[in-house]
């Protein structure tokens, strides 16, 4: 069921968040665009939620939770609340209010964690010790994973309540002509969203189907190893997602300026610099990071980590490049690129998983995101040229690979973890020195770091 939720989120929001950023920063009144986009989402959310709830029985059967059709009702409520908060969250980002945005997000996550701990560790014990209490009366051991869904629902409802001021700012005004323009712009983003979910999640599903491991249990073990090692790329993934949160409204706001392309090129330079440093922070200190995988048998899959890190770097660069089709109103190009990426994912996994297992999944991910990045760059430069310093970006990336390669060779002859960490630190300092020497003029212009660079 949770695998289906991202697909439903794409359907419910149908690219309206990006559409809001584009139209509110183009030639239209921001409040007017916000009202129309919000009313559109409210109307479709009510319709889709009612459909899901009326068909909860068949949907529960389809998602293999037929014994708990209420799970579908709760999940539909989560999707609905998350959809209704999409534009209020976007408005906070567009208005430059990151503190409130971050507070609501973090507070919701903390509430979720607290409720999960309560439902699965405190409530069962209390109910057993005090069978006649009211808390015991609300505890149902047969609910199982349902308590996790309830915690998620509480988080979504909590976020919605904190965003009521932004939600209450919606005014009923309608402009059919503008709404049609927004729908034409957002429709291809629906395909982009679907393709993104496939590229991010479907490899693990296919690994479970076609893994060369013998039994079903062994196939599940392969999926577990791959998923655990995939999480070691979380540092880059988190940075890419945080960058998207701030970059999308920033890029649209900068679009009106004459120097917008130069600004985008400069942002790309800093972006790749940070990604390269993060790659080395993970790979040069992999002996530390792998300790987060408590089951040492899963360390057998650590060879996929550098591949997945580079794949997510390519994805981050692609997100940065993607501004060209959003600004030029060629969102159908984004859909085309995403479809190509999804086809690469499916074909490579289909051909090579039966022989190579999770290694094939990692290379398929890199091929997908790398291909999308290259296609977007070539296509984008023809439609909306941006003076990216490809030579400088390539230099940072290739030097990063060389530093990692040298450290890898050293570690092949060293088993002592202390010496391996010393090697990693030495190579890390060497790379930072390279960045400082080649990017000094750029770094001097930064508001805080620039004060310490001479």
Chosen domain end from 127, 147, 174: 174
Chosen domain end from 149, 174, 199: 174
What is the separation of C-alpha 401 from the centre of its chain, rounded to a whole number of angstroms? 24
Residues 217 and 82 placed together within one structural domain of the fold: no
Query: Which range of residues forms the domain containing residue 16?
Result: 1-174
Q: How many beta carbons lie within 10 A of that of residue 390, not counting itself?
A: 12
For the chain, the distance separating the N- and C-terminal CA atoms, rounded to the nearest angstrom, is 55
Whether 447 is in a domain gets the answer yes
Task: Please tell me the predicted confidence (pLDDT) of residue 441.
Answer: 76
Q: Which of 310, 324, 339 is nearest to 197 (CA)?
A: 339
**Tokens representing residue 362 in the block:** 């990692």
Residues 39 and 90 placed together within one structural domain of the fold: yes
Task: Please tell me the predicted confidence (pLDDT) of residue 73.
Answer: 92
Cβ distance 76 to 149 under 8 Å? no
Residues 115 and 139 placed together within one structural domain of the fold: yes
Residues 204 and 167 placed together within one structural domain of the fold: no
Q: How many domains does the chain have?
A: 2
**Tokens representing residue 75 in the block:** 């999940």
Q: Rounded CA gap, 298 and 229, in Å?
A: 8
What does each of the 454 residues of the chain score in pLDDT, given as a tens digit? 777 888 899 999 998 988 988 888 776 678 889 999 999 999 999 999 999 999 988 888 887 788 888 999 999 999 999 999 999 998 998 888 888 988 999 999 999 999 999 999 888 888 888 887 888 888 888 888 889 999 999 999 999 999 998 888 888 888 899 999 999 989 898 888 888 888 887 888 888 888 888 787 888 888 889 988 988 888 888 888 888 777 777 777 776 667 888 889 988 998 999 999 999 999 999 999 999 888 888 898 999 999 999 999 999 999 999 889 888 888 899 999 999 999 999 999 999 999 999 999 999 999 999 999 999 999 999 999 999 999 999 999 999 999 999 999 999 998 888 999 999 999 999 999 999 888 877 777 766 666 667 6
| Three-state DSSP state, 297 | helix
Residues 40 and 156 placed together within one structural domain of the fold: yes
Task: Please tell me the predicted confidence (pLDDT) of residue 255.
Answer: 65
Whether 183 is in a domain gets the answer no
Residues 265 and 166 placed together within one structural domain of the fold: no
Task: Please tell me the predicted confidence (pLDDT) of residue 449.
Answer: 67
Q: Rounded CA gap, 344 and 369, in Å?
A: 9
Residues 315 and 351 placed together within one structural domain of the fold: yes
Whether 182 is in a domain gets the answer no
Instruction: Locate all alpha helices (DSSP H) within 284-357, ordered by sequence.
Output: 286-289, 305-321, 323-327, 331-356
Residues 233 and 311 placed together within one structural domain of the fold: yes
Cβ distance 89 to 65 under 8 Å? no
Residues 124 and 223 placed together within one structural domain of the fold: no
Distances (CA, A) of 377 to 18, 60, 94, 136, 415: 20, 43, 26, 59, 42
Instruction: Locate all alpha helices (DSSP H) within 14-130, ordered by sequence.
Output: 16-24, 30-54, 56-62, 70-84, 86-94, 98-117, 123-129
Q: Rounded CA gap, 104 and 166, in Å?
A: 13
Residues 161 and 288 placed together within one structural domain of the fold: no
Residues 154 and 192 placed together within one structural domain of the fold: no
Residues 170 and 199 placed together within one structural domain of the fold: no
């Amino acid at each position: 069921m949770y695998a289906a939720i991202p697909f439903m989120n794409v359907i419910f929001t149908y690219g309206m968040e990006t559409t809001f950023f584009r139209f509110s920063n183009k030639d239209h009144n921001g409040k007017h665009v916000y009202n129309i986009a919000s009313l559109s989402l409210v109307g479709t959310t009510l319709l889709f939620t009612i459909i899901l709830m009326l068909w909860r029985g068949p949907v529960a059967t389809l998602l293999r939770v037929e014994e708990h059709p209420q799970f579908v009702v709760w999940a539909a409520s989560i999707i609905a609340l998350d959809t209704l908060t999409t534009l209020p969250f976007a408005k906070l980002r567009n208005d430059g209010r990151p503190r409130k945005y971050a507070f609501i997000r973090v507070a919701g996550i903390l509430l979720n964690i607290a409720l999960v701990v309560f439902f699965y560790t405190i409530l069962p014990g209390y109910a057993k010790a005090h069978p006649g209490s009211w808390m015991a009366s609300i505890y149902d051991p047969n609910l199982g994973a349902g308590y996790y869904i309830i915690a998620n629902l509480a988080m979504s409802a909590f976020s919605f309540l904190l965003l009521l001021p932004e939600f209450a700012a919606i005014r009923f005004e309608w402009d059919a002509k503008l709404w049609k323009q927004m729908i034409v712009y957002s429709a291809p983003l629906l395909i982009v969203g679907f393709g993104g979910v496939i590229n991010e999640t479907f490899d693990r599903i296919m690994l479970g189907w076609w893994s060369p491991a013998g039994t079903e249990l062994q196939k599940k073990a392969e999926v577990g190893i791959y998923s655990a090692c995939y999480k070691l790329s979380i540092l880059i993934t988190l940075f890419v997602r945080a960058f998207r949160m701030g970059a999308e409204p920033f890029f649209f706001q900068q679009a009106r300026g004459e120097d917008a392309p130069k600004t985008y090129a400069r942002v790309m330079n800093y972006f790749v610099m940070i990604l390269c440093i993060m790659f080395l922070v993970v790979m040069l200190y992999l002996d530390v990071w792998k300790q987060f995988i408590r089951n040492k048998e899963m360390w057998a899959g650590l060879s996929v980590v550098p591949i997945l890190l580079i794949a997510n770097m390519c994805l981050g660069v692609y997100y940065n490049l993607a501004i060209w089709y959003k600004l030029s109103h060629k969102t159908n190009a984004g859909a085309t690129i995403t479809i190509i990426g999804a086809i690469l994912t499916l074909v490579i996994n289909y051909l090579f998983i039966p022989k190579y297992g999770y290694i094939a999944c990692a290379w398929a991910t890199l091929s997908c995101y790398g291909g999308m990045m290259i296609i977007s760059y070539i296509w984008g430069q023809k439609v909306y040229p941006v003076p990216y310093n490809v030579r400088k970006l390539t230099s940072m990336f290739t030097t990063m690979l060389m530093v990692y390669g040298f450290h890898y060779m050293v570690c092949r002859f060293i088993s002592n973890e202390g010496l391996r960490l010393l090697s990693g630190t030495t190579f890390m300092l060497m790379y930072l020195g390279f960045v400082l020497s080649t990017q000094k003029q750029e770094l001097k212009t930064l508001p805080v770091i620039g004060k310490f660079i001479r």
